[in-house]
């Protein structure tokens, strides 16, 4: 087990290294000269040369990359081109809100599983159809549109919530519904098919035959075995919450990482964009790593391979 985790951890580090390389070249691929952008339109060549040296852009590429990596490990991401503040400080302010939002959005996990189980245990009946119609709609609905409609109905018309901004946890209700919808729909689909596979197994028939209660058969015997494929999908979906929050934060005017990313892309604030790309992929990769480890806890067979 520790050996397996170590192996996966090394793989994860490898991916992170490649991501760091990509993020490094990201800034070098950008159209235009970053020095010119920093120095402004009417800077002299001399002034530009000073800035170039200050940023270390006159060094050979491999040295630049080494410095970039060392800074990265020390959480020094450079300064924002717009505000001039260290990127770290800019991010820290926004991080907490996105973390809260992600936490609230996890409602999609139980909701999706319950819907999927209901659909599977009522296969081909009305409840199954209803759950699956909900599911395919949830996968197809444009998130930003759903958000706008929810604002118009629940914030503008009924005035139950504030349309935008963040003052209290209640303000995260509509964003959480918006972001979680897709995840719920996808988990429901996967749970249904994983469950149907398990329900036809012999040990389920045996449990039923020996008189185990219906609820116990469903939630103790079947669910546990159906969980394996579901966990993978849950992991992926948590990753997608991160990108889902980009759009939702923009709609609901939440000052989190997502709206920061959009502001920075539009304003061409590249150090911030670069750091956000690294941060987002770091989360995504770590979630995948945790899912893989969880997998071995649930299914010991994986470890043996």
Partner 1 sequence: MSSTTTSQSVSPFELFLRRFKREKLAILAGSILLIMVLMAIFAPFFLSQGLNDFDYDKILMPPSAENWVGTDLYGRDLFTRLVYGARISLSVGFLSVTFGALLGSVLGIMAAYKGGWLDTIIMRAADVLFAFPSFLLAIAIVAVLGGGIVNVIIAIAIFSTPTFARITRSSALAVLNSQYVRAATTMGASHFRIMFVHILPSTIGGILVYFTMRVGTSVLTAASLSFLGMGAQPPSPEWGAMLASSRDFIAVDGYMYLTLYPGLCIFLTVLCCNVLGDGLRAALDPK
- Which of residues 1 and 18 has its CB atom nearest to partner 1 in the complex? 18
* Closer of 73 and 158 to partner 1 (Cβ): 158
Per-residue binding string, partner 1, 201-220, x by CB under 8 A, is --------------------
Sole window of 142-150, 200-208, 227-235, 296-304 interacting with partner 1 (rule: CB under 8 A): 142-150
Count of residues engaged in binding partner 1, rule: CB under 8 A? 46
Residues 106-135 as x/- pattern, contact with partner 1 by CB under 8 A: ------------------------------
Among 136, 170, 220, 297, binds partner 1 (CB under 8 A): 136
Binding flag, residue 285, partner 1 (CB under 8 A): yes
15 binds partner 1 (CB under 8 A): yes
Q: In this chain, which of 172, 223, 233, 261 binds partner 1, going by CB under 8 A?
A: 261
256 binds partner 1 (CB under 8 A): no
Q: Which stretch binds partner 1 (CB under 8 A): 98-106, 109-117, 211-219, 280-288?
A: 280-288
Give which of 104, 106, 130, 103 is closest to 116, Cα–Cα.
Answer: 130
Whether 175 and 252 have beta carbons less than 8 Å apart is answered as yes
Site string for partner 1, 31-50 (x = CB under 8 A): x-------------------
Residue closer to partner 1, measured from CB, 68 or 252:
252
Convert the chain into a string of H (helix), E (strand) and C (coil): CHHHHHHHHHHHHHHHHHHHHHHHHHHHHCCCCHHHHHHCCCCCHHHHHHHHHHHCCCCCHHHHHHHHHHHHHCCCCCECCCCCCEHHHHHHHHHHHHHHHHHHHCCHHHHHHHHHHHHHHCCCCHHHHHHHHHHHHHHHCCHHHHHHHHHHHHHHHCCCCCCCCCCCHHHHHHHHHHHHHHHHHHHHHHHHHHHHHHHCCHHHHHHHHCCCCHHHHHHHHHHHHHHHHHHHHHHHHHHHHHHHHHHHHHHCCCCCHHHHHHHHHHHCCHHHHHHHHHHHHHHHHHHHHHHHHHHHHHCCHHHHC
Among 250, 293, 294, 302, binds partner 1 (CB under 8 A): 250
The residues binding partner 1 (CB under 8 A) are 15, 18-19, 22, 26, 29-31, 136-137, 139-146, 148-149, 151-153, 156-157, 163, 239-240, 242-244, 246-247, 250, 261-262, 265-266, 268, 273, 277, 280-281, 284-285, 288
């Amino acid at each position: 087990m520790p050996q397996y985790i170590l192996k996966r951890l090394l793989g994860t580090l490898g991916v992170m290294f490649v991501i760091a390389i990509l993020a490094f070249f990201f800034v070098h691929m950008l159209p235009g000269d970053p020095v010119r952008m920093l120095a402004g339109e009417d800077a002299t060549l001399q002034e530009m040369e000073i800035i170039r040296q200050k940023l270390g852009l006159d060094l050979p590429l491999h040295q630049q990359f080494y410095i970039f990596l060392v800074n990265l490990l020390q959480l020094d991401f450079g300064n924002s081109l717009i505000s001039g503040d260290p990127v770290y400080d800019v991010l820290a302010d926004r991080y907490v809100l996105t973390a809260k939002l992600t936490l609230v959005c996890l409602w999609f996990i139980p909701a999706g599983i319950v819907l999927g189980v209901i659909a599977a245990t009522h296969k081909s009946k009305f409840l199954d159809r209803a759950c699956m119609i909900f599911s395919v709609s949830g996968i197809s609905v444009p998130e930003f549109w759903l958000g706008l409609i929810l604002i118009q109905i629940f914030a503008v018309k009924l005035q139950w919530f504030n349309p935008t901004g963040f003052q209290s946890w209640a303000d995260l209700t509509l964003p959480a519904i918006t972001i979680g919808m897709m995840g719920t729909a996808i988990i429901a689909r996967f749970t249904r098919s994983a469950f149907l596979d398990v329900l036809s197994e012999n040990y389920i028939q045996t449990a039923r035959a020996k008189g185990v209660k219906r609820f116990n058969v469903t939630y103790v015997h079947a669910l546990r075995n159906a969980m394996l494929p579901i966990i993978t999908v849950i992991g992926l979906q948590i990753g997608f919450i991160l990108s889902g929050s980009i759009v939702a934060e923009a709609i609901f005017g939440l000052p989190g990482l997502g709206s920061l990313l959009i502001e920075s892309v539009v304003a061409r604030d590249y150090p911030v964009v670069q750091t956000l790309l690294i941060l987002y992929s770091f989360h995504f990769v770590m979630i995948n790593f945790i899912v893989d480890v969880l997998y071995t806890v649930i299914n010991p067979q994986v470890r043996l391979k």
